[in-house]
Amino acid sequence: MVEFQTVGKNYGDLTALKDVSFTIPPGGIVGLLGPNGAGKTTAMRIMTGYMEPDRGTVLIAGKRFTPDSVELKARIGYLPESAPVYGDMMAWDYLMYEAELHGLDAPGRVPEVIREVGLETHAHKPIRELSKGFRQRVGLAHTLLHDPELLVLDEPTSGLDPNQIIEVRNLIRKIAETKTVILSTHIMQEVEALCSRVILIHKGSIRYDGSISAFSPSSRRIHLAAAGIGLSELRKMLKPLKGFHSIVQREDSREDEGKDSGLLHVTVLSDPDDDLRPEIFRIASGKGGFIIYEMVREKTSMEDIFHELTAAGGEDAFDQGNPSGDVEQAMATSMISGDTESETGEKGGRS
């Protein structure tokens, strides 16, 4: 449905997009992520025809797309973060006006989109008197008037209360049953709830492009509290395990020393595909002879991964150790470089 081929855009000396390439097939919801200034808005403006790239090619439905591509623009709907609506007009009158302005069958189409976005009870109220959630619905109804195949939504739930967020998310899911939706947001829970794929942009380049499941992998951290064993001895026992990287003593070990004499708190780092808990339990109940008080595999949040791939340390890990764009490798490189421990027990610091 949408294809960027080495698309670049500059604003004077600032490079907003650095030869970005991706393909979004028809159907589903794709999350477009990135910190402020990453290039997301520029990418959305280019794919909706509000702006022309300085270099590269954009294809919509397999055809070259420019701001002058009127027929292709008719296949796209774009909702900016702040819905551009006329506050003094009734919602019904505003939608009728926009439908007629675009040469649509206003009496037939407007009631359809009003039902589609759940605006029936507020259609005859001035837009300025509506809550932000219902103003967003008016903007979404406007975007859907011409029945586009591609819908580009910029922060559609920004500023909404929890109930309104749930309602708008449900509406987006319903729309995605028949359309392709590209969703820009800073809310990671929204991405998890709605998207099947993630494209992460940082400093004008794509840092990750893939499935939501791969973007939020199982963690490679195990928090272990044990008694009857020291740090060096435990490290020697775990080091031969497949997937083992390192073991670090946690700060709360020192806090608990006075209360729980001999209780050791550590974090074990491993490959993302290797769960070491069964092997650790086997060692403890066998030759290790130590007691496990707690053993929990930490679930990495999307916020953690987002931070790792867009913060300075994550960028270095990605660029230097992971040119292929593997999010798990980027995370592993970043975490291990910052949290590893030497064989003498000295904890390494972040560079």
pLDDT for 324: 37
Residue 344 confidence (pLDDT) above 80: no
Mean pLDDT of 252-258: 48
Q: Name the nearest CA neighbour of 217 among 309, 349, 350.
A: 309
pLDDT for 197: 93
Q: How much of the chain, in percent, has pLDDT values that exceed 70? A: 84
Sorted by sequence, the CB contacts under 8 Å of residue 248 that are 6+ apart come out as 266, 267, 269, 339, 340, 341, 347
Residue 9 confidence (pLDDT) above 80: yes
C-alpha to C-alpha distance for 320 and 1, rounded to whole angstroms: 33
pLDDT digits (tens, 9 = 90+) for 194-212: 999 999 999 999 988 988 8
Sorted by sequence, the CB contacts under 8 Å of residue 104 that are 6+ apart come out as 145, 146
3-state DSSP assignment of residue 124: coil
Concatenating the DSSP letter of every residue in 217-257 gives PPPSEEEEEEES--HHHHHHHHTTSTTEEEEEE-THHHHHT
Architecture of domain 221-339: 2-Layer Sandwich (3.30)
- pLDDT band for 303, please (50, 70, 90 cuts): confident
pLDDT for 6: 96
Fold of the CATH domain 2-215: Rossmann fold (3.40.50)
Which residue type sits at 9? K
- 49: tokens are 């025809």
Mean pLDDT of 118-137: 92
Residue 1 confidence (pLDDT) above 90: no
- This prediction's pTM: 0.70
pLDDT digits (tens, 9 = 90+) for 264-299: 999 898 887 788 999 999 999 988 889 999 999 877
Give the strands of the sheet with 291-297, arranged side by side. Answer: 244-249, 263-270, 221-227, 291-297
With b meaning 16 or more CB within 10 Å and e meaning fewer, what string describes 117-134? bbbeebbeeebeebeebb
The number of C-alpha atoms within 13 Å of 62 and in the hemisphere containing its C-beta is 1
**Beta bridge partners of residue 33, listed in sequence order:** 200
- 73: tokens are 């623009």
Which range (84-88, 142-146, 252-256) has the least confidence?
252-256
Cα 303 versus chain centre, distance: 8
pLDDT digits (tens, 9 = 90+) for 58-115: 999 999 998 899 899 999 999 988 778 899 999 999 999 999 998 999 999 999 999 9
Per-domain boundaries in the chain: 2-215, 221-339
Q: How high does pLDDT run on average in the chain?
A: 82
- pLDDT band for 252, please (50, 70, 90 cuts): low
C-alpha to C-alpha distance for 172 and 177, rounded to whole angstroms: 9
pLDDT for 259: 47
Which residue type sits at 150? L
pLDDT for 151: 95
Which range (88-97, 181-190, 334-343) has the least confidence?
334-343
Residue 340 confidence (pLDDT) above 90: no
Residue 180 confidence (pLDDT) above 80: yes
The two domains 2-215 and 221-339 share their CATH topology (first three levels equal): no
DSSP annotation of 36 reads T
Q: 113 vs 102, 104, 254, 256, CA distance in Å?
A: 15, 13, 62, 61
3-state DSSP assignment of residue 351: coil
pLDDT for 326: 44
Angle between helices 132-144 and 162-175 (to 10 degrees): 10
Q: How much of the chain, in percent, has pLDDT values that exceed 90? A: 50
Which residue type sits at 211? S
pLDDT for 158: 80
